Amino acid sequence: MKGTKAEMGMGTLIIFIAMILVAAVAASVLISTTGTLQNKALATGKATTQEVGTSLSAVELYGEDGSNQSLEYIYETIKLASGSDEIRLIDTLVTVNLNDISSDYGYNQSVDCTNTSQFNASSAMFGAKWQITGTNNRTGYLTKGDVVQLCLHMPRPINEAEDLKISLIPMVGSALVVDSTTPDLMVDTRVSIYP
């Protein structure tokens, strides 16, 4: 009788140790999964914050070459919105939509905004001129405190009382859209469009 009780106790001990091992393996799987999910959640949160928190604001939009009641060159002054991360201009797309045509522009560092003779309507490039340099002076980047004037040649001359929509689309962040109409009468060389 005494030997039987010892065999039952040994079996119980083996089952108990097996249960502890299974619980330890299950706990390590749960901890590993929790760590992976936490890392994914942090990465997603950071990407979402950049996407939602990074944006541009338009300060001014005007056109030049108002002779013959048409504009050939557009200048848009922009800056980062509060709390935005820096934006690389090479990763920014500028889209111009007119009544009958639209055109996309990419950044070209060699485009000089002060020399309109180098502009070509077919080049599809925009330039940038830093009017105020912010806290981090990095060429080709729009950083905190920067005020930058973008310049581009229109795909065709813009007439009086014509709708004009310019969109700045950064790679990360929300797009800046300025939807406006040119004045009914354009007689000056410089014509204000926005605000």
Q: How confident is the model over 51-87, as pLDDT tens digits?
A: 566 789 999 999 987 567 889 999 999 999 888 888 9
pLDDT at 147 over 80: yes
Alpha-carbon distance of 86 to 148, in angstroms, equals: 13
Please check whether residues 42 and 95 belong to one and the same domain. Answer: no
Please check whether residues 100 and 135 belong to one and the same domain. Answer: yes
Please check whether residues 143 and 86 belong to one and the same domain. Answer: yes
Distance between terminal CA atoms of the chain?
100
Closest by CA position to 61, among listed 154, 185, 179, 188: 179
Mean pLDDT of the chain: 85
Task: Give the three-state DSSP class for 189.
Answer: coil
Please check whether residues 188 and 93 belong to one and the same domain. Answer: yes
pLDDT at 1 over 60: no
Please check whether residues 179 and 101 belong to one and the same domain. Answer: yes
Contact 161, 182 (CB under 8 A): yes
Please check whether residues 17 and 86 belong to one and the same domain. Answer: no
Please check whether residues 67 and 31 belong to one and the same domain. Answer: no
Please check whether residues 92 and 180 belong to one and the same domain. Answer: yes
The pLDDT score that the predictor gives to residue 7 is 60
Which domain covers residue 130, as residue numbers? 56-194
pLDDT at 176 over 70: yes
Least confident of 25-29, 96-100, 158-162: 25-29
Within its chain, how far is the Cα of 95 from the centroid? 14
SS (H, E, C) 65-112: CCHHHEEEEEEEEEEECCCCCCEEHHHCEEEEECCCCEEEEEECCCCC
The pLDDT score that the predictor gives to residue 66 is 59
Contact 170, 162 (CB under 8 A): no
Please check whether residues 43 and 62 belong to one and the same domain. Answer: no
pLDDT at 152 over 70: yes
Please check whether residues 43 and 105 belong to one and the same domain. Answer: no
pLDDT at 3 over 60: no
Could you please report the per-residue DSSP string of 146-175? -EEEEEEEEEEEEETT-EEEEEEE-SSS--
Please check whether residues 94 and 123 belong to one and the same domain. Answer: yes
Please check whether residues 189 and 118 belong to one and the same domain. Answer: yes
Alpha-carbon distance of 27 to 180, in angstroms, equals: 61
Domain boundary among 16, 32, 53: 53
The pLDDT score that the predictor gives to residue 94 is 95
Contact 71, 36 (CB under 8 A): no
pLDDT at 178 over 90: yes
The pLDDT score that the predictor gives to residue 134 is 77
What is the number of H-type helices and E-type strands within the chain? 1, 11
> Considering its fold, how many domains does the chain have in total?
2
Domain boundary among 36, 53, 70: 53
Domain boundary among 30, 53, 76: 53
The pLDDT score that the predictor gives to residue 50 is 57
Mean pLDDT along residues 104-121: 82
Burial call 133-162: b when 16+ CB within 10 Å, e when fewer: ebeeeeeebbbeebbbbbbbbbbebbebeb
At a CB cut-off of 8 Å and minimum separation 6, what does 22 contact?
none
Reported as a pLDDT band with limits 50, 70 and 90, residue 170 is: very high
Query: What is the pTM assigned to this prediction?
Result: 0.74
